[in-house]
A and B are shown apart, each in its own frame.
Chain A
Amino acid sequence: MKKKFLSVLLAGVMVVAMLTGCGGKSPASNGNTTAETTDGTQTQTQDAATAENTGAGDGAATKTDVAQTDLAYKGELELMHFSTSEESEGNGGSDGFRTVLADWQTVHPDVKLVERVMANDDYKTQIATLAAADDLPDVFLLQGMNTKAWAAQGLILDMTDIISKSPYAAQYDDSTYYPFTSEDKIYGLPALTGGTCAVVLYDSAKWKEAGFDTFPETWDDVLKAKDYFADQGIDTIAFGNGSKWQINSTFLATIGDRFTGSDWTHSLIEKKGAAFTDQSFADALKFTKDIFASGIFNADFNAISNEDAREYYISGDAAAYIGGNWDVSYIQATLKDTDLYDTTKFAVLPQPAGATASYKTHATGLGYAVAINSDVADDPDKLAAAVDFAYEATGPAFANYVATKYALGGLTKVENVDLSGFDQFTQDFYNYQYVDNKPCEIYDSYISSAVWDVLNTDLQSMLNGELTPEKVVANAQKAYEDNY
């Protein structure tokens, strides 16, 4: 069993070596940007792939250099994910995932990928139902915060060895494993693209008029700009917390880090004594409450989604916007060829007064990993197919595609990304995400969904002035002790 598995692996390595030796088929190296991704050609490729069943040797139809591994498995492989074609328009990670997926199917016509694609919200409900019923699909995307619970239930395959034996192991960014680790075992290959969860996009032209050459580095300075923008009839910063997770993911994870530092976060994750009720975290909440009460945000921030809030920025009704990388890709695709596109710049969240634990950090990482149902291990051939898919969906084929097309990075590192072909917007965002700033943990990639659900609900009330920070941290701590 193990022998066969190894030989498949070996074959995989050889094929990859051959491909890289020949130079492979380097995907679109002319540095085109996202504007060209909305033409729907990915779907066509996929149709062609399934319809023609082109042989494994004929890789002409693939867009990426997916390894042409020999797989013994013939049959269906279930795959569930949330990269809908809607989402892949403008979202580089989704586009890359779909493209590699289609190519992998082309290269492996004997394995029939049975896909279930749904919007992210439905995906979360559905995958929770399937996990509860012990009926997870063969391959799926695992969210960081479910790792510990599902690993304890034996639902997901321990992939520690699979990762170390990966043909691409040398290129992997080890720091991405942390959310998918439970008791020193890794349960998934971090997927899609690593991206910031907290970035300020601002219109540098408007801020210049307000007297700021760059975005203020402290919140106190941001407050000084408030009256100016109010006179212009626009909001200083647009934010949307209607679905309750936004304040946690795109604001508090970063602001919290500024107050508590990363040791506190790690201690909380590893249950080494830190508590939500610690003064530093309570201070972060108090700051959050005050800054949202200060009037620099749009009045309806608690009622609208981030999708609505970013439209305020796009339409010029707000001078800045706080969101995550998914918002950036949308704004980029939307603003292309406008003046605002050229004047839009990026900044880390400003420093709160009294926060000294860290500086210039932004919550970032890979939120999902390709995981394999532990039952798949019963069929070594099928497992080999699933593992091969996991390698390719996160390996160089994917990484090169998103690096050259979108200047994004994933699990597999791409050396010497040539930024010169990209426009200023893309270059700036690349530097923001991967070069200029320090990473910190995304809270809701860890711990447990129960804790975040309680905290996020309370945060929304707190921002409405109906709960005190003390009460919020007490409730969160109770949920933490009960559920984690």
Chain B
Amino acid sequence: MLSSIRPKNRVIFAYLILPIVLYVFAVFIPLVTAGFYSLFEWKGGPNKTFIGFENYVTLMKDSVFWKSFSHNIYLVIACIIGQIGLAFIFVLMINSRLVKLKGIHRTFGFFPSTVSAVAIGFIWTMVFDYKRGILNWFLDLIGKHDAIKVWLNESGLVMLLISLPLIWQFIGYYMVIILSAISSVDKEIFEVAEIDGANGFQRAIYIVLPLIKNTLLVCVTLCVAGNMKAFDHIFVMTAGGPGNASMVMALYGYKISFAQQNMGYGSAISIGIFITSLLVIGGSQLLVKLLSKDKGGDN
């Protein structure tokens, strides 16, 4: 890019070698090892039988895996809308002159992302609990007895219900990222926007959105990557149930590897998650690029 600041190759090498070695050791070798294991029928222990790509053939036909995949896609979409969308709106609000207690909102909003998934899952299980849950307690309070349900046992609702804690927990996380990007945007934009009330608010979105497009792209990528390997919350709240109604890929791979001790097939699932995630991420990048190109053309 710039010849004047380009250091010598050995300087680059010296800076990069240590982290790369560590990264390869802790991330890539296990992945490659999993790829190797996936070619075996292996039920744990020292004996393995080479079966070539048979595990992958099974995987292609495994309806539970593909159901889990669709659940991951559901989570990705729900979280892009819920996390990034809400975070963006909240950040606009916080930047508004009309809003008080800005510091409190920033501090409290980020707080849930500091808590472990186990605690979050625990708290939300208590929200959805049938007899002691906060949600049913509230429905009872407002007299909507018919609406009271065993929430986490509703196959049709369970994906929506488990995406709520995920969305809620990480809004603050994306708020911080968007906040730091937006703070470089000229303050006047917000002030101009506010005077006109709601219309101005809408306009602010249109003005600000393109300015922080790259940051949003970062957020979308993080969101896709995070949700394609979603595990912790669901493990705590439903363990994939009822039946497989909230099963996701990583949980399924874990179940096959550990609960069923089918390490060979479990490894094939890990590779499957990796490949499908790559495809989804690639697809989402392409999509965002296409969309932003259209927008660019308008201006």
Query: Which positions in A face B, CB cutoff 8 Å?
Result: 124-125, 128-129, 131-132, 134, 146, 149-150, 152-155, 242-244, 298-300, 302-304, 312, 317, 448-450, 453-454, 457-458, 460-461, 464, 466-467, 483
Contact = CB atoms under 8 A, between A and B. Distances in A.
Contacts of B150: 299-300, 302-303
Interface of B: 42-47, 129-131, 150-153, 155, 239-245, 255, 257-263
Given A299-B130, A303-B153, A450-B261, A457 B44 contact: no
A466 B260 contact: no
A300 B153 contact: yes
A483 B242 contact: no
Given A152-B47, A466-B155, A466-B242, 7 more contacts: A131-B45, A150-B44, A154-B45, A299-B150, A300-B129, A461-B243, A483-B262
Contact of B131 (A124, A149, A317): A317
A304 B260 contact: no
Among B45, B152, B258, chain A packs the most CB atoms within 10 A around the CB of B45
A92 B263 CA distance: 35
B130 A464 contact: no
A374 B257 CA distance: 23
B242 A303 contact: yes
B44 A153 contact: yes
Given A128-B258, A303-B152, A466-B155, A153 B47 contact: yes
Contacts of B47: 152-154
Contacts of B243: 457-458, 460-461, 464, 466-467
Contacts of A129: 258
16 contacts: A124-B258, A124-B259, A128-B257, A128-B258, A132-B42, A132-B263, A134-B45, A146-B261, A153-B44, A155-B46, A243-B239, A448-B261, A453-B260, A457-B244, A461-B243, A467-B243
Contacts of A448: 260-261
Given A134-B45, A154-B45, A303-B150, A464 B242 contact: yes
Contacts of B263: 132
B288 to A, nearest CB: 37
Given A134-B46, A467-B243, A125 B258 contact: yes
B45 A449 contact: no
Contacts of A300: 129-131, 150, 153
B152 A149 contact: no
A303 B130 contact: yes
B148 to A, nearest CB: 9
A149 B261 contact: yes
A460 B258 CA distance: 20
A131 B44 contact: yes
A453 B259 contact: yes
A150 B44 CA distance: 8
Nearest to A154: B46
A189 to B, nearest CB: 21
Contacts of A303: 130, 150-153, 242
B260 A302 contact: no
Contacts of A131: 44-45, 261
Among B44, B244, B258, chain A packs the most CB atoms within 10 A around the CB of B44
B260 A450 contact: yes
Contact of B45 (A125, A153, A450, A453): A153
Contacts of A466: 155, 242-243
B241 A149 contact: no
A149 B261 CA distance: 10
Given A131-B44, A134-B45, A134-B46, A450 B262 contact: yes
